[in-house]
Homo-oligomer: A and B are copies of this chain.
Amino acid sequence: MDYTLPEFLAHAIALEHEAAERYLELADMMEAHRNDEVSALFRDMVRFSRLHHDSIVERARGVALPTLRSWQYRWSHPPEAGGEEAFDVTLDAYSALCYARENEARALEYYSTVGQQSSDPEVHRLAAEFAAEETEHVQALDDWLARTPRPSTPWRDDPQPPPSN
């Protein structure tokens, strides 16, 4: 986990880009569910992720970045999306917020681990700054979760999807 600056910047750019893409999907989905409040939250997250992305791209100007593979930065699938029932999944607001929170927490853990372990002072400084931003995102999602009704069958506690036929 002792990242060079180019490695770290490449990961951060990819993470923020991925986050913006996923928040856009979630916003569209919440809009289709007629949940305008949660949709607006996700659209804010799209904007924050893009701003952060662009500022890191700016910081990386002139730095030769390594190529990353999609699985090195992609969000994990929502828990329902396991087998081929993946193709029927739609998320309620509560599950969408949980899904986003899980991925933000993963990004937070990534940045904070890199920040603690890196021997490069610039990586150390940037990673700590990015971890602080992710902490705010996790906090915002927690606030929304606290005031969002839990669905009657919470997906986290549901060991098997209901039969689909």
Interface string of A53-93 (1 = CB under 8 A from B): 00000000000000101111110111001011011110000
Most buried by B among A28, A70, A78, A106: A70
Interface of A is mostly: helix
Which residues of chain A in 86-103 are interfacial with respect to chain B, using CB atoms and an 8 Å cutoff?
Answer: 86-89
B84 touches A72 (CB 8 A): no
B72 touches A22 (CB 8 A): no
Which residues of chain A in 5-43 are interfacial with respect to chain B, using CB atoms and an 8 Å cutoff?
Answer: 11, 21-22, 25, 28-29
**Nearest-CB distance from A59 to chain B (Å)?**
19
Residues of chain B contacted by A22 (CB below 8 angstroms): 70
Task: Give residues in A with beta carbon < 8 Å to B.
Answer: 1, 11, 21-22, 25, 28-29, 67, 69-74, 76-78, 81, 83-84, 86-89, 106, 109-110, 113, 117, 164-165
